[in-house]
């Protein structure tokens, strides 16, 4: 039973202490009924957000699929490997290299120009005052003033000059004179010189003494002249300024290691063999298959429904996603025009399985390598209708911002979510106003009942007093 009270009307609005009515429960129940449409709309909005996220995931995987196809177009799907071991050079087959055999002869290795100072008793000895000028590769650097410099100071100044050289003090022993001796060694960082130029021009040092102060003239002299690499591939002579050569045999990097035993003579020719590397080619194609499978798996998951599936949160009814599934199947059957026996992904061994995924079939790939290995690259590289361009076109049609089918689908859902936010906010304002009104009405009722009860109590008191006095 409700307890009576003489509290203010504002406190009576909370629980119906005067009326004995549970006004809080009544208000909450009435407000909950008004909240039902909002909850229903929020549930629908949550479903749309899930669909937006799912489409975003598909677009992301489509972009990765496009990148995988472009990688094979630029770097090549076909891999080759060097199958010979050589002593005068080593070779690395890069993307786009071709299987074949070459005769390689290394006659001379490239080497840098090296200059050495005269001998000093120690690195701390003072060099003569003057100006040291370095010139390398046709560029002359700012002169170095050597006033009050030690040999070690000069080495440091050369390193700070910006010239592409190393400068090191080498301290050893002069056996003939039985004493310690230090030299300043200056070496060009790059070997050789521009083919056609005089090798001595690759690095030169000149010192002009000022005549002031003490110290020893550094006495620089060239100890090793620069020379270029000389080698021959299949009877063709090459001259290069480096021992690492990547422009002689297409897409093959040669590292020259040993020249002829004697200067001005020829080295020994060695065979270089490159063959198709099926294992690496399989790995390259599998990266493409993995990217395809990642997209197809998401699409299949989005379209799959069972009796227990909440269809409001899936893309099962989305025609754009269902259409994409068919377009992905079309990638497998797409035939590249202009090619002969190897024209489709299936021809290079990319096999479509019953679950829609792609795998590399070793037997089919081996057959393609035997028939036309270059076509494995051509399938992806061919412009306009090659696999790479075909996939890029498909992905752009689906995901391009402002025009892509899936991108527009996602934007439409996102706009609906935003519109629902506005609608929910407006509905909530009305519910809040409804609740405020209810509370005000019940508060007024309790206040009125409180006044009536106080009047009744007063009349009862007066009646009792009259009876007692009579």
pLDDT given for residue 423 in this prediction? 93
Q: Check if the beta carbon of residue 136 is closer than 8 Å to that of residue 188.
A: yes
Q: What is the pLDDT of residues 91-103, one digit of tens each?
A: 999 988 999 999 9
Indicate whether 372 and 405 sit together in one domain. yes
Going by their DSSP bridges, the two strands 358-360 and 139-140 should be labelled as unpaired
Instruction: Compute the CA torsion angle 101, 102, 103, 108 (nearest 10 deg).
Output: -140
Q: Is the pLDDT of residue 468 over 80?
A: no
Q: Is the pLDDT of residue 9 over 60?
A: no
**Contacting residues for 401 by C-beta, under 8 A, at least 6 apart:** 407
pLDDT band at 20 (very low <50, low <70, confident <90, very high): low
Q: Per the domain annotation, does 468 fall within a domain? A: no
pLDDT given for residue 18 in this prediction? 59
What mean pLDDT, rounded, does the chain reach?
A: 89
Place of tokens 């309790």: 446
Domain boundary among 201, 224, 247: 224
Q: Per the domain annotation, does 462 fall within a domain? A: no
Q: What is the pLDDT of residues 117-151, one digit of tens each?
A: 999 999 999 999 999 999 998 899 999 999 999 99
- Please calculate the CA angle 323-329-334 and round it to the nearest 5 degrees: 120
Distance separating the N- and C-terminal Cα atoms of the chain: 36
Q: Is the pLDDT of residue 10 over 60?
A: no
- Whether this model's pTM surpasses 0.85: no
**Contacting residues for 466 by C-beta, under 8 A, at least 6 apart:** none
pLDDT given for residue 26 in this prediction? 86
- Mean pLDDT along residues 307-318: 77
Q: What is the pLDDT of residues 409-428, one digit of tens each?
A: 999 999 999 999 999 999 99
Q: What is the pLDDT of residues 351-372, one digit of tens each?
A: 999 999 999 999 999 999 988 8
Going by their DSSP bridges, the two strands 269-276 and 350-352 should be labelled as unpaired
Q: Is the pLDDT of residue 162 over 60?
A: yes
Q: Percentage of residues in the chain with pLDDT exceeding 90?
A: 66
Q: Is the pLDDT of residue 252 over 90?
A: yes
Indicate whether 203 and 258 sit together in one domain. no
Q: Per the domain annotation, does 461 fall within a domain? A: no
Q: Check if the beta carbon of residue 146 is closer than 8 Å to that of residue 130.
A: yes
Question: Which residue from 211, 62, 200, 76 is spatially nearest to 146, judged by alpha carbons?
Answer: 211
Indicate whether 430 and 368 sit together in one domain. yes
Q: What is the pLDDT of residues 171-185, one digit of tens each?
A: 999 999 999 999 999
Indicate whether 84 and 7 sit together in one domain. no
Domain boundary among 195, 224, 253: 224
Q: What is the pLDDT of residues 40-74, one digit of tens each?
A: 999 889 888 988 999 999 999 999 999 999 999 99
Q: Which of 133-142, 151-160, 195-204, 431-440 is predicted least confidently?
A: 195-204
Report the alpha-carbon distance of residue 142 to residue 44 in Å, rounded: 74
Indicate whether 420 and 362 sit together in one domain. yes
Q: Percentage of residues in the chain with pLDDT exceeding 70?
A: 93
Q: Is the pLDDT of residue 86 over 50?
A: yes
Q: Per the domain annotation, does 425 fall within a domain? A: yes
pLDDT band at 11 (very low <50, low <70, confident <90, very high): very low
Q: Per the domain annotation, does 318 fall within a domain? A: yes
Indicate whether 47 and 129 sit together in one domain. no
Indicate whether 145 and 200 sit together in one domain. yes
Torsion-angle region of residue 21: left (phi > 0), alpha (psi -120 to 50) or beta? beta
DSSP collapsed to 3 states, the chain? CCCCCCCCHHHHCCCCCCCCCCHHHHHHHHHHHHHHHHHHHHHHHHHHHHHHHHHHHHHHHHHHHHHHHHHHHHHCCCCEEECCCCCCEEEEECCCCCCEEEEEEEEECCECCEEECCCECCCCCEECCEEEEEEECCEECCCEECCCCEHHHHHHHHHCCCCCEEEEEEEEEECCCCEEEEEEEEEECCCCCCCCCCHHHHEEEEEEECCCCCCECCCCEEEECCECEEEEECCEEEEECCCEECCCCCCEEEEECCCCCCCCCCCCEEEEEEEECHHHHHHHHHHHHHHHHHHHHHHHHHHCCCCCCCHHHCCCCCHHHHHHHHHHHHHHHCCCCCCCCCCCCHHHCEEECCCCCEEECHHHHHHHHHHCCHHHHHHHHCCCCCHHHHHHHHHHHHHCCCCCHHHHHHHHHHHHHHHHHHHHHHHHHHHHHHHHHHHHHHHHHHHHHHHHHHHHHHHHHHHHHHHHHC
Indicate whether 286 and 411 sit together in one domain. yes
Q: Per the domain annotation, does 194 fall within a domain? A: yes
Which residue has better confidence, 306 or 267?
Answer: 267
Q: Per the domain annotation, does 464 fall within a domain? A: no
Indicate whether 303 and 362 sit together in one domain. yes
Indicate whether 350 and 377 sit together in one domain. yes
Indicate whether 272 and 283 sit together in one domain. no
- Mean pLDDT along residues 203-209: 94
Q: Check if the beta carbon of residue 278 is closer than 8 Å to that of residue 362.
A: yes
Q: Check if the beta carbon of residue 238 is closer than 8 Å to that of residue 232.
A: yes
- Mean pLDDT along residues 341-357: 91
- Mean pLDDT along residues 176-203: 84
The domain tally of the chain equals: 3
Question: Which residue from 205, 210, 222, 62 is spatially nearest to 140, judged by alpha carbons?
Answer: 205
Report the alpha-carbon distance of residue 213 to residue 215 in Å, rounded: 7
Indicate whether 430 and 444 sit together in one domain. yes
pLDDT given for residue 366 in this prediction? 94
Report the alpha-carbon distance of residue 385 to residue 63 in Å, rounded: 19
* Domain hosting residue 434, numbered range: 1-79+278-454
Q: Per the domain annotation, does 217 fall within a domain? A: yes
Domain boundary among 276, 310, 338: 276
């Amino acid at each position: 039973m409700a307890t009576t009270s003489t509290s203010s009307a504002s406190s009576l609005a909370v629980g119906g202490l005067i009326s004995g009515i549970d006004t809080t429960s009544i208000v909450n129940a009435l407000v909950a009924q008004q909240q039902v449409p909002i909850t229903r709309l929020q549930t629908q909005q949550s479903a749309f957000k899930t669909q937006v996220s799912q489409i975003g995931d598909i677009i992301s995987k489509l972009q990765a699929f496009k990148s995988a196809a472009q990688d094979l177009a630029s770097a090549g799907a076909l891999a080759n490997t060097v199958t010979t071991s050589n002593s005068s050079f080593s070779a690395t087959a890069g993307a786009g290299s071709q299987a074949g055999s070459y005769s390689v002869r290394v006659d001379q290795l490239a080497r840098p120009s090296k200059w050495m100072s005269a001998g000093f008793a120690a690195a701390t000895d003072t060099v003569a005052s003057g100006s040291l000028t370095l010139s390398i590769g046709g560029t002359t650097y700012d002169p170095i003033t050597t006033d009050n410099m030690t040999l070690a100071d000069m080495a440091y100044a050369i390193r700070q000059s910006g010239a592409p050289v190393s400068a090191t003090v080498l301290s050893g022993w002069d056996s003939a004179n039985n004493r310690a001796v230090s030299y300043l060694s200056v070496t060009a960082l790059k070997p050789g010189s521009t083919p056609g130029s005089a090798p001595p021009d690759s690095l030169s040092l000149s010192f002009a003494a000022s005549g002031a102060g003490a110290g020893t003239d550094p006495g620089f002299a060239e100890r090793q002249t620069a020379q270029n690499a000389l080698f021959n591939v299949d009877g063709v002579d090459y001259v290069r300024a480096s021992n690492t050569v990547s422009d002689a045999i297409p897409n093959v990097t040669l590292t020259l290691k040993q020249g002829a035993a004697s200067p001005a003579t020829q080295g020994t020719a060695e065979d270089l063999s490159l063959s198709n590397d099926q294992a690496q080619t399989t790995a390259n194609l599998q990266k493409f298959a993995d990217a395809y499978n990642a997209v197809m798996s998401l699409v299949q998951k989005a379209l799959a429904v069972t009796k227990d599936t909440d269809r409001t949160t899936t893309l099962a009814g989305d025609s754009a996603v269902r259409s994409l599934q068919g377009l992905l199947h079309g990638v497998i059957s797409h035939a590249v025009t202009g090619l002969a026996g190897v024209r489709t992904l299936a021809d290079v061994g990319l096999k479509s399985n019953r679950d829609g995924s792609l795998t590399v079939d070793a037997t089919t790939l081996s057959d393609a390598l035997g028939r036309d290995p270059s076509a494995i690259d051509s399938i992806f590289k061919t412009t306009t209708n090659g696999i790479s361009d075909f996939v890029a076109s498909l992905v752009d049609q689906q995901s391009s911002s402002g025009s892509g089918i899936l991108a527009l689908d996602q934007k439409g859902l996102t706009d609906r979510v935003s519109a629902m936010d506005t609608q929910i906010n407006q509905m909530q304002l009305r519910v809040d106003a409804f609740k405020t009104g209810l509370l005000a009405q019940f508060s007024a009722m309790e206040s009125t009942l409180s006044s009536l009860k106080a009047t009744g109590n007063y009349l009862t008191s007066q009646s009792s007093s009259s009876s007692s006095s009579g």
